[in-house]
Amino acid sequence: MAELIDPKQFVIVRKRKKYRFALFHNSPLCYEYDAWDSSYRPDAVEIGAGNGQFAVELARRHPDLKYLAVDVKGDRLQNGAHSALQDGLENIRFLRARADQLQDMLAPHSLQQIWLTFPDPFPRRRSAGRRLTHPHFLSIYRTLLAHGLGPMASMYLKHDNRDFFLWSLEQIVADGWHIDELSFDLHESELLHDYKILTTYEKRWLSHGLTTNFVRATPEHS
Three-state secondary structure along the chain? CCCCCCHHHHCCCCCHHHHHHHHHHHCCCEEEHHHCCCCCCCCEEEECCCCCHHHHHHHHHCCCCCEEEEECCHHHHHHHHHHHHHCCCCCEEEEECCHHHHHHCCCCCCECEEEEECCCCCCCHHHHHHCCCCHHHHHHHHHHECCCCHHHCEEEEEECCHHHHHHHHHHHHHCCEEEEEEECCHHHCCCCHHHHCCCHHHHHHHHCCCCCEEEEEEECCC
How far apart, in whole angstroms, are the C-alpha atoms of residue 80 and residue 8?
20
Active site (annotated) includes residue 120: yes
Can you tell me the distance from the alpha carbon of 17 to that of 19, in angstroms, rounded to the nearest whole number?
A: 5
Among residues 37, 87, 100, 120, the one annotated as catalytic is 120
Catalytic residues: 120
